[in-house]
Structure 1
Amino acid sequence: MAIRKIFVLALTVPLCALAVACGGGEMPEAQAPDTETAATPEAPETAAPEAPEAPEAPAAPETPEAPEAPSDAPAE
């Protein structure tokens, strides 16, 4: 476990130093795009045709329950 901690520290310290050394430049501020050029034309609203209602399914016939096996019958 100690070897793993040493290995992590040995890699972390140089990488942090490199990041600090290379990241010294300032990032430019983000600018919002112009609203006139960035605006997309909206599509005209079209009335969607309504789907016809589906006919109701016929009711399923009731199935009779299977009779229970007697308790003294051998199990299969």
Structure 2
Amino acid sequence: MKLFDQFKNLITNIKEITSLLKQLQLQQHELTEQLKEIQSVSEDIQSDIEKMNFKNQPHISRINEATEHLNTELSKFKAH
């Protein structure tokens, strides 16, 4: 009788493992699809960042030049 109960428990455990494995496979598939979507969004964002940086580069260059000029002028006052 004990052997029969152990066998029944084994069968029950195998069914549960099989069910859990199917759930895991479904979740893996969902994660894979979500990852593809996230990668697409990430690429879009990176493209937008590159476009924004390209458009802002002239402004950033002028700001850097003005900052350098101000620092140079300020250093003259600090030296005195």
- TM-score norm. by structure 1 comes to 0.38
Structure holding more helix per residue: 2
Higher Rg: 1
Per the normalisation by structure 2, the TM-score is 0.37
